[in-house]
Amino acid sequence: MPREATHEKRVASEKNAAFRIMAAPVIAFTAAICRLEIQHGEKLPKIGSFVLTPNHFSDFDPVTIGWSVWRLGRAPRFLAKASLFHVPVLGWALRQVRQVPVERTTRTSGGEAISAAHNLADSGEGVIVYPEGTLTREPDLWPMRGKSGAVRIALENGVPLIPVAHWGDQHILPRWSKKISLFPRKTVHVLYGDEVDLDRFRGKPLTQKALLEATDQVMTAITALLEQLRGETAPAERYNPAEHNQTEFGRPL
């Protein structure tokens, strides 16, 4: 069977019966409370593996990002905390829709993410990785310093890395809030960008310096997309939680 036909068959199989059944109520609920405006969705690969890197400022944005990927014909596959896979029913559901378990740590090496996404290129599937690792600490919701897991996955597996930015989710579920605003119906804008050019890092040792440079390149691309959506200019210096005595994970005090 030709390689392209094989990839097309794999894309179709991404949305298996279990995925469709579980996605249906989530999509119906999301569509009822928000409108999704997708720009340049053609930049998400139609076939083959990819790493998608969104900004992250609301616990609701995985829903809207996942929905956008679904609408573009691909199945959303996230790196998810390994502990969730041990929760009764939820763990079973995550395995059925092929989400990727990963131990979340404060390290920047991205080793766990690489292990979890092993053979990504051969699977023909994509994976969504939040390079910030958690909700941004930046006061005005701009992307903060990124971690290297996303670029390591892309470089180790030889797959394209696609940046994407979104804006509007904060009106549905504000950062660190547990109260969803259902009415009036909100609009969430999602803007896909060009593949990040990581060619100068491919086929070379992934030193800490190289990983930092590649990650910064990705965060710059995401920030530029968000600037377009917001019609504003991001701070010149990217926010670093450590410089503000903030922890990497959890809600800041």
Instruction: Indicate the burial class of 7 (C-beta count within 10 angstroms; 0-12, 13-18, 19 or more).
Output: middle
**Total Cβ atoms within 10 A of residue 77:** 23
pLDDT value of residue 251: 73
User: Which domains does the chain show, CATH number per domain?
Assistant: 3-237 (3.40.1130.10)
d(CA 145, CA 248): 10
Given a cut of 80, whether residue 160 has pLDDT beyond it is yes
Q: Rounded to the nearest 10 degrees, what angle do helices 17-33 and 61-71 cross at? A: 120
Residue 9, pLDDT > 60, answer no
Helix, strand or coil for residue 202?
coil
pLDDT value of residue 67: 97
How does pLDDT run across 58-85, given as a tens digit for each residue?
999 999 999 999 999 999 999 877 887 8
End-to-end Cα, the chain, rounded Å:
56
- CA-to-CA distance for 238 and 16, rounded, in angstroms? 40
Q: Are 165 and 132 contacting, i.e. CB atoms less than 8 angstroms apart?
A: no
If DSSP codes are grouped into helix, strand and coil, which group holds residue 219? helix
Per-residue pLDDT reduced to its tens digit, 94-116: 888 888 887 765 444 445 556 65
